[in-house]
Amino acid sequence: MIYGGLVLQGIGHAALYSCLFAIVGDVVDYSEWKDGIREEGLTYSVTSFGQKIGTGLGTAKDLDGSLRQEIIMERRLFSRTVRSLQLRVCSYICHWLSQSLF
């Protein structure tokens, strides 16, 4: 029963991560459309760096209170960056839909 749950969890994670990497490609296309400069290397490297920070923060969750404040500040910065990327992708999709439908 435990193994069945782990398999289902793995399938869910696979879908999540494949969608996240697909969204990064859309962010690259949107950025090129908006700014006229294709910055795929920068976008993918920032994404990789963010994942490494997230992994480090997730691993360091059991640290003492003096480091917790720094971790909280890093998480807030990371969540703002992710929200910014999500907003850019959403506006790109909305723009694309409005151009396609009308």
| pLDDT tens digits, 34-48 | 888 888 888 888 888
Phi, psi of 52 (to 5 degrees): -65, -40
CB 25 within 8 A of CB 88: no
| Model confidence, pTM | 0.47
User: If you average pLDDT over each of 4-13, 26-35, 69-78, 83-92, which comes out highest?
Assistant: 26-35
Helix (H) or strand (E) holding 7: helix 2-35
What does the pLDDT read at residue 82?
A: 73
CB atoms within 10 A of CB 30: 20
Which of 42, 49, 41, 51 has the alpha carbon at shortest distance from 20?
51
CB 85 within 8 A of CB 27: yes
